[in-house]
Structure 1
Amino acid sequence: MASVLIFGPTGQVGSVAAATATSLNAKVTLAMRDTSKPIPSLPDSSNYAKVQADLTDPTSVANAVKASGATRAFVYLAQRDPASMRAVAQALKDAGITFVVFLSSQTIPHDKALKEVEAENFIPYLHAQYEAALDDVFGEENYVAIRPGAFVSNFRTEIDGVAAGKVSLVGADFKMDSVIPADIGRVAGSVLVEGPKNGQKKVYVYGPQILSMEDSLKRIGSVLGREIEVQNVPAESVDKSKVPPPVKYRLDRLAEEREGKGWKERFWKYEEGVKNVELYTGKPATTLEEWVAENKAIFGA
């Protein structure tokens, strides 16, 4: 029986990874900053063993591994300092972890070495640094990076606009795959317990449709029975230094597209990433419409 440690089990991905690992007959321990925190998204979470741990604190990480007796761990990006990332990776290994599944990001350029990703590209840089640390500490045979596309749950930020029937959006023509967190969690949980398939070291996970954010919002409205007007805020009117990293990433990629770099280049191994959902879970990737139909309450419907 595999013994696994899940960091971040209160998250949308971690909770499903834990449930999936349990369904595959693994012994699952939850590593949490606050072990008293309820986990509504994880069925029977009160029945799980829990240990206190913080992924920014190597000592607590080592203690959690030792207390759990786990040899496999699911981790996510919790640090912004490369040195701290490496220290945590080393703590995992020294305490007894032999295999790691890391929730990484599809934004890491496929045509650059991990350590060559520029720091100004905030999101891919941090994930690449963590992958590089795992590569150095564990070796490429002993960890797998799950590289999902754009989470469909990002549309939660537009709840008020969807309710009002009018959304003002920077970069409304930005294309995304809208992968659902549960699909990512099921893939991650499968890899954690059973290992990767087809020799994959970077497991891409994508949603089955590439749509602009504007088209996506209109489809959300269609499922909810609402007509949604989408106003595109011109990129040139936005000060990129004052927007959140995800919006800056969106604007940077749109700028690249205007300079001739096609959006399809962002979706590296797209067909494989869509098929990976069924490969690891036995079910096809969930569509945007299916996710909205199951989560209408998020949008007040």
Structure 2
Amino acid sequence: MTTLITGARGKVAQGVLARLHSAGHRVRAASARPAELTVPAGVAAVELALDRPETFAAALDGVRQVFLYPEPSGIRALIRAAEAAGVEHVVLLSSSSVLGPDAATDPLARHSLQVEHALAASSLTCTFLRPDAFASNSFGWAHPIGRAMPVQLAYPDAHTAPIHPEDIADIAFEALTGDFLKGRSLTLSGPESLTFRAQLAALSAAIGREVPVERISREAAEQQMSAFMPAPMAGSLLDLWAAASHGPAAVADTTETLLGRPARTYAQWAAENAPAFTGH
């Protein structure tokens, strides 16, 4: 049985691919730009572009499972092609944001929600992984920390329960290779609620020097963030963090509750990725 990994340049997808390949499963890596992929020896890299349906058949040939990134463009055509190719199971890397009351209009949630709805209407068995904040979101602080500048935040006391990307890959691997998680919708988080200040303290410990935090206005934060993302998405994130400043974040399922293995901590992620924050 071959498993197709879409979005194979992503960190979680790479982790899933590596686990499947190491365990002896047949796996195929897909990307709109397959020449840019780095894959293990013996793994085929194929083109899969959602705006080019002519790429679907070759990518899906012989595939029975798909690890899918949530891109709504062309998703219904891809699902039809998957059904025609004999695909049986899809594991979707969705988002916990789809559970919000305004998910259908929320810029953070609607892409994942549209893909979930399309899959739910199909004949495929679907497993939805809905992680909360990724620990790797902290890479957004690498520029100021690496230059010994303060990290500017409108809501430094906002709580999240950041999940290590390798934990997501572990859970996805289990969903693709066993029956216990298949067909379920799983909200995932890290093992503890941490404010942004606490996360920055963990990064400070990892790099061996203090990371100063500077509170700025919401307006200033929105202006900064809008240089890197659409303004509505920046506004939605700031709304989320404002609400998250009122108390601890909920801890959802982890590798501990699902797999019986300790969840990786944010401090572990910080230690593993310290070089990205040292300016070297």
Normalising TM by the smaller chain, what interval?
A: 0.7 to 0.9
Q: Are the counterparts in 2 of residues 21 and 190 from structure 1 also a CA contact under 8 Å?
A: no
Residues in 2 aligned to 1:85 and 1:75: alpha-carbon distance in whole angstroms: 10
Amino acid at match of 1:124: A
Residue 283 in 1 paired to residue 261 in 2?
Answer: yes
Deviations 1:158-187 (A, max 9, x none): 112212152112322222112111111121
Residue 188 in 1 paired to residue 172 in 2?
Answer: yes
Deviation at 1:98, TM superposition (A): 1.1
User: How many aligned residue pairs are there?
Assistant: 274
Deviation at 1:137, TM superposition (A): 1.3
Q: Work out which of the residue numbers 149, 152, 172 in structure 1 matches 2:156.
A: 172
Q: Work out which of the residue numbers 137, 156, 162 in structure 1 matches 2:122.
A: 137
Deviations 1:6-63 (A, max 9, x none): 1122210001111222344321111122333242xx6xx1321222212443331232
Q: Work out which of the residue numbers 35, 60, 63 in structure 2 matches 1:65.
A: 60
Q: Work out which of the residue numbers 215, 234, 237 in structure 2 matches 1:250.
A: 237
Q: Are the counterparts in 1 of residues 159 and 244 from structure 2 also a CA contact under 8 Å?
A: no
Q: Which runs of 5+ in 2 are unaligned?
A: none
Amino acid at match of 1:60: T
Q: Are the counterparts in 2 of residues 165 and 226 from structure 1 also a CA contact under 8 Å?
A: no
Q: Are the counterparts in 2 of residues 56 and 78 from structure 1 also a CA contact under 8 Å?
A: no
Residues in 1 aligned to 2:244 and 2:207: alpha-carbon distance in whole angstroms: 32
Q: Which runs of 5+ in 1 are unaligned?
A: none
Deviation at 1:146, TM superposition (A): 0.6
Residue 201 in 1 paired to residue 194 in 2?
Answer: no
Residues in 2 aligned to 1:249 and 1:234: alpha-carbon distance in whole angstroms: 16
Name the structure where helix makes up a greater proportion of residues: 1
Residues in 2 aligned to 1:240 and 1:138: alpha-carbon distance in whole angstroms: 44
Residues in 1 aligned to 2:233 and 2:163: alpha-carbon distance in whole angstroms: 16
Residue 118 in 1 paired to residue 118 in 2?
Answer: no
Q: Are the counterparts in 1 of residues 30 and 47 from structure 2 also a CA contact under 8 Å?
A: yes
Aligned CA RMSD, in angstroms, stands at 2.6
Q: Are the counterparts in 2 of residues 4 and 73 from structure 1 also a CA contact under 8 Å?
A: yes
Residues in 2 aligned to 1:54 and 1:195: alpha-carbon distance in whole angstroms: 30
Structure 2 equivalent of residue 221 of structure 1: 204
Q: Are the counterparts in 2 of residues 75 and 103 from structure 1 also a CA contact under 8 Å?
A: yes
Q: Runs of 4+ in structure 1 displaced over 6 angstroms?
A: none
SS, match of residue 60 in structure 1: helix
Residues in 2 aligned to 1:127 and 1:50: alpha-carbon distance in whole angstroms: 25
Residues in 2 aligned to 1:241 and 1:125: alpha-carbon distance in whole angstroms: 23
Q: Work out which of the residue numbers 88, 92, 108 in structure 1 matches 2:98.
A: 108
Structure 1 equivalent of residue 43 of structure 2: 48
Residues in 2 aligned to 1:255 and 1:185: alpha-carbon distance in whole angstroms: 29
Sequence identity percentage: 26
Deviation at 1:238, TM superposition (A): 5.1
Q: Work out which of the residue numbers 273, 277, 280 in structure 2 matches 1:299.
A: 277
Residues in 2 aligned to 1:77 and 1:279: alpha-carbon distance in whole angstroms: 25
* TM-score, normalisation: structure 1: 0.81
